[in-house]
Amino acid sequence: MRPSPRTAHALGLYACHTCGLLSRPAREGASSCGRCGSSLRFRKTNSIERAAAYLIAAYILYIPANVLPIMETHSVFGREENTIVSGVAYLWHAGSWGLALIVFIASVVVPVLKLLAMTLLLITAHYQSAWRPLERAKLYRLVELVGRWSMLDVYVVAILAALVQFRPLATVTPRSGALYFGAVVILSMLSAMAFDPRLIWDPAHKESHTHA
Amino acid sequence: MPVLSPTDSQSTTGLIACNECDLLQRPIALPAGGWAVCGGCDAPLYRYTPGSLDRALAFSLGAAVLFLIGLTFPILELEIQGNVTSSSLSRTVQQLWKDGLHVFAVLIAATTILLPALELAVMISVLLLLRVRRASAWMPKLLRLLTLVRPWGMTEIFFMGVLVALVKLAHMADIVTGIALWSLGGMMLLLIAASRSFNLRHLWEQVAPQ
């Protein structure tokens, strides 16, 4: 079964992943793009394996990121530890519903949905599923677009820690949860970058060609 | 976007492949500000960027000036019972480093200072090189570097973080917003404006393949 002849791969053409130049490989094996010098390959190398490795690491670190406190507040009223979720609850009770919603979406909804979305994309790509490629492609685009915004809470902790330094009245210290959270965001960004969206389409193109 | 039919497979000059689904297509002319989307998967293929490269240069230089102000001047000032602390972007990183949170300090410094600075520097170098109209061996290297750096600069997210911190602190202290807050906000808008006029795909097309 040959892939559909409408794609660059099917015509034996390399589309450079960096600059987009189409070129015909001069020889089998490794070659590099004549315009930008990137190494040429039809699909990202070991895309699913690398993306899955980053994703599994992100899942593991997601646990300490939510269980451990992200910061600690010392004040005359005592010591208080904050986790991601308690920070959202605080904003909500303070009446800042808009911000509470933004932080809730950025730090709770987006990371969870991103991990689940990448899991779905990797599993369907691994089994070469031709199921709803357009919807999966849109899901991937969404993951790429909003994934970075989860860094929001990490920055909030850093700013608070730098500003609130009134010993002995009030001090804020970052705790390890924030670092784990930052690591989850970076690992899931790396996972999305390692994933090759062309793998979503390859089975669909193959199928349409067989039916044609 | 006309999708290439299997019978056209002989001539491939002038074709482009979708970066998401690999479908080959023939580019069409676009109206000002328009996007071309892939006929197969709806992914954006390329766009027509209004305005000259000089406009992109002006926006990037403006963003660089605001970035320098945003880096050194206070973002927020906080007062509790006569004690004042202020925090700039560079002081935030220093404070984290001083507290022994080295990995954390490096993470913040990289995503809010080093990488945005690198992105701006590369954009300005590319635009200046194009102004002197010299075919440079550096151009492909600079454009590749830009593709690599772009996802990791997070100025706009940091800016939102400052706003969230502001609300969290509002009940416990008097807050004065510093000049750097507005500079970072302005830099964010100028960066968006600059990248609207800065068409990476178009710049790649001007680099001659060897």
Helix axis angle, A152-163 to A97-104, nearest 10°: 120
Are B6 and A5 inside 8 Å of each other by CB?
A: yes
Token pair belonging to B20 = 């998401």
How far away is chain B from the Cα of A6, in angstroms, using its nearest Cα? Answer: 6
Confidence of residue A27 (pLDDT cuts 50, 70, 90): low
The residue in chain A having the minimum alpha-carbon distance to the alpha carbon of residue B21 is A198
Cα separation, A37 vs A144, in Å, equals 25
The verdict on A52 and A132 lying in the same domain is: yes
Q: For residue A74, which phi and psi values (nearest 5 degrees)?
A: -105, 125
The answer to whether A94 faces chain B, any CB pair under 8 Å, is yes
Is A32 a residue whose pLDDT tops 80? yes
Is B11 a residue whose pLDDT tops 90? no
Cα separation, B19 vs A74, in Å, equals 51
Name, of A72-86, A120-134, B40-54, B193-207, the range with top average pLDDT: A120-134
Residue-level pLDDT at B9: 44
The verdict on A89 and A143 lying in the same domain is: yes
Q: Which range is least confidently modeled, A70-79, A139-148, B61-70?
A: A70-79
Are B104 and A149 inside 8 Å of each other by CB?
A: no
Confidence of residue B83 (pLDDT cuts 50, 70, 90): confident
The verdict on A1 and A68 lying in the same domain is: no
How far apart are the two ends of chain B, measured CA to CA in Å?
A: 29
**Mean pLDDT across chain A, nearest whole number?**
89
The verdict on A36 and A127 lying in the same domain is: no
Q: For residue B175, which phi and psi values (nearest 5 degrees)?
A: -115, 130
In A27-169, beta strands by DSSP E: 71-75, 78-82, 165-166
Sort residue A128 into left (φ over 0), alpha (ψ -120 to 50) or beta.
Answer: left
Confidence of residue B31 (pLDDT cuts 50, 70, 90): confident
How far away is chain A from the Cα of B24, in angstroms, using its nearest Cα? Answer: 5
How far away is chain A from the Cα of B34, in angstroms, using its nearest Cα? Answer: 19
The verdict on A124 and A149 lying in the same domain is: yes
- Interval A62-66 mean pLDDT: 94
- Interval A146-151 mean pLDDT: 90
Is B56 a residue whose pLDDT tops 70? yes
* Among the partner residues A9, A153, A201, nearest to B41 by beta-carbon distance: A201
The answer to whether A5 faces chain B, any CB pair under 8 Å, is yes
Are A162 and B96 inside 8 Å of each other by CB?
A: yes
The verdict on A139 and A188 lying in the same domain is: yes
Residue-level pLDDT at A28: 61
Residue-level pLDDT at B130: 87
The residue in chain B having the minimum alpha-carbon distance to the alpha carbon of residue A150 is B157
Q: Which of B32, B8, B13, B96 is nearest to A174 (CA)?
A: B96
Is B146 a residue whose pLDDT tops 80? yes
- Interval A128-132 mean pLDDT: 91
Cα separation, A8 vs A23, in Å, equals 9
**Mean pLDDT across chain B, nearest whole number?**
87
Which domain does A94 fall in, by range? 45-211
Are A160 and B19 inside 8 Å of each other by CB?
A: no
DSSP conformation letters of B160-203: HHHHHHHHHHTTTSEEEE-HHHHHHHHHHHHHHHHHHH--HHHH
Contacts of B95 in chain A (CB under 8 A): 161-162, 165
- Residue range B153-201, pLDDT digits in tens: 999 999 999 998 988 888 778 888 899 999 999 999 998 888 888 888 8
Are B168 and A152 inside 8 Å of each other by CB?
A: no
How far apart are the two ends of chain A, measured CA to CA in Å?
A: 12
The answer to whether A63 faces chain B, any CB pair under 8 Å, is no
HSE value, Cβ hemisphere, 13 Å, CA-based, for B121 = 9
The verdict on A102 and A169 lying in the same domain is: yes
Q: Which residues does B127 contact at the CB level (< 8 Å), separation at least 6?
A: B53, B56, B57, B60, B198
* Among the partner residues B22, B86, B141, nearest to A201 by beta-carbon distance: B22
B187-205 per-residue burial string, b: 16 or more CB within 10 A, e: under 16: bbebbebbbbbbbbeebbe
Are B96 and A94 inside 8 Å of each other by CB?
A: no
Residues in chain B: 210
* Among the partner residues B91, B140, B169, nearest to A36 by beta-carbon distance: B140
CATH of the domain at A154: 1.20.140
The verdict on A96 and A200 lying in the same domain is: yes
Domain ranges for chain B, please list them. Answer: 1-48, 53-206
Are B17 and A164 inside 8 Å of each other by CB?
A: no
Cα separation, B73 vs A63, in Å, equals 37
The verdict on A179 and A125 lying in the same domain is: yes
CB pairs under 8 A between A and B: 198
Confidence of residue A77 (pLDDT cuts 50, 70, 90): confident
Residue B14: how many other CB atoms lie within 10 Å: 8
Alpha-carbon distance values, B145 to A62, B40, B116, B125, B205 (Å): 30, 29, 12, 12, 17
* Prediction ipTM score: 0.88
- How much of chain B, in percent, has pLDDT values that exceed 70? 93
Of residues A64 and B196, more confidence is placed in: A64
Is A1 a residue whose pLDDT tops 50? no
How many structural domains does chain A have?
A: 2
The verdict on A157 and A70 lying in the same domain is: yes
The residue in chain A having the minimum alpha-carbon distance to the alpha carbon of residue B38 is A134
Sign of the dihedral through C-alpha A198, A199, A204, A206: positive
How far away is chain B from the Cα of A50, in angstroms, using its nearest Cα? Answer: 18
The verdict on A114 and A140 lying in the same domain is: yes
Helix axis angle, A110-126 to A133-146, nearest 10°: 140
- Interval B97-113 mean pLDDT: 92
Residue-level pLDDT at B7: 42
Residue-level pLDDT at B8: 46
Residue-level pLDDT at A183: 95
Is B137 a residue whose pLDDT tops 50? yes
